[in-house]
Amino acid sequence: MIEFRRVNKIYEGAVRAQALTDFNLTIGDGEFIFIIGDSGAGKSTLIKLLMGEEKATSGSVLVDGVNVGKLRSWQLPKYRRHFGVIFQDFRLLQNYTVFENVAFAQRVVSASKKGMLKRVPRILSVVGLEEKQKSYPSQLSGGEQQRVALARAVVNGPQYLLADEPTGNLDPANSLEVMRLLEDFNRSGTTVIVVTHDAAMVDQFRKRVVTMKDGQVLSDMQEGGYVHA
């Protein structure tokens, strides 16, 4: 479970910016949730706090009871293994094949070579890329590249899948395919959090939708349209 409890985040720079204001949000295990909001609403800040890249100015971010802001830097790599993350720009290693891109995520957690040889092809087949294992990212379409990124994100079986504008660079057909895969992973138990400003995409899926504005929750709607408790 993820809990943001009265979180304030103020960036003290040349210009002081309050990115989150008394922000409260609870995400239960196994949920599929969209987080939407205009640019500047605080979505990226929410992700950074969750990943331990930034600390809250006050309040707490709890993940399975662990206060993320209290983790030491040496504890963060292990903590972050609970999350698979995909981004709008895919972030694949260009000089590595599809197989290697996915296997690399396994090496980081020092999986055995034998386990890796089994799991990488299996996950690539789940995302429909078993034929492309030896290709390089530049030889793939945007949709295929995002599916590689997705395979890499889930190959270690993370508890949470965090997608930051996952369809931002994709056409509608590929967007739909990536979203369907996110749904599949959700069905198999992964908590999925999709941050986006693509309202059309959100409308196609009947999921919980949290709308952020000026660092706060503007609305929190469950599938059918009622307000989430």
DSSP string across 113-177: HHHHHHHHHHHHHHTT-GGGTT--GGGS-HHHHHHHHHHHHHTT--SEEEEESTTTTS-HHHHHH
HSE value, Cβ hemisphere, 13 Å, CA-based, for 30: 3
CA–CA separation, 56 vs 59, rounded Å? 7
Task: Kindly tell me which of 18 and 156 has the beta carbon lying closer to ligand ADP.
Answer: 18
Task: Kindly tell me which of 37 and 84 has the beta carbon lying closer to ligand ADP.
Answer: 37
- Minimum separation from the CB atom of position 223 to ligand ADP (A): 23
Binding-site string for ligand ADP from residue 193 to residue 212, where x marks contact by CB under 6 A and - marks none: --------------------
43 is a contact residue toward ligand ADP (CB under 6 A): yes
The three-class DSSP label of residue 226 is: coil
56 is a contact residue toward ligand ADP (CB under 6 A): no
Task: Kindly tell me which of 11 and 91 has the beta carbon lying closer to ligand ADP.
Answer: 11
Beta strands in 2-141 (DSSP E): 2-12, 16-27, 32-36, 58-63, 66-67, 83-87
17 is a contact residue toward ligand ADP (CB under 6 A): yes
- Minimum separation from the CB atom of position 132 to ligand ADP (A): 32
Type of residue at 80: R
Q: Count residues contacting ligand ADP (CB under 6 A)? A: 12
| Selected binder of ligand ADP within 39, 94, 112, 138 (CB under 6 A) | 39
| Token pair recorded at residue 101 | 């891109």
Specify the length of the chain in residues: 229
- Minimum separation from the CB atom of position 25 to ligand ADP (A): 14
The answer to whether the CB of 173 falls within 8 A of the CB of 137 is no
Listed ranges 13-21, 99-107, 135-143, 201-209: which one lies at the site for ligand ADP (CB under 6 A): 13-21
| Selected binder of ligand ADP within 30, 40, 121, 142 (CB under 6 A) | 40
| Token pair recorded at residue 173 | 């057909």
Residue 94 DSSP label: T
| Selected binder of ligand ADP within 21, 26, 44, 156 (CB under 6 A) | 44
Residue 8 DSSP label: E
41 is a contact residue toward ligand ADP (CB under 6 A): yes
Residues lying near ligand ADP in the complex (CB under 6 A) are found at 11, 13, 17, 19, 37, 39-45
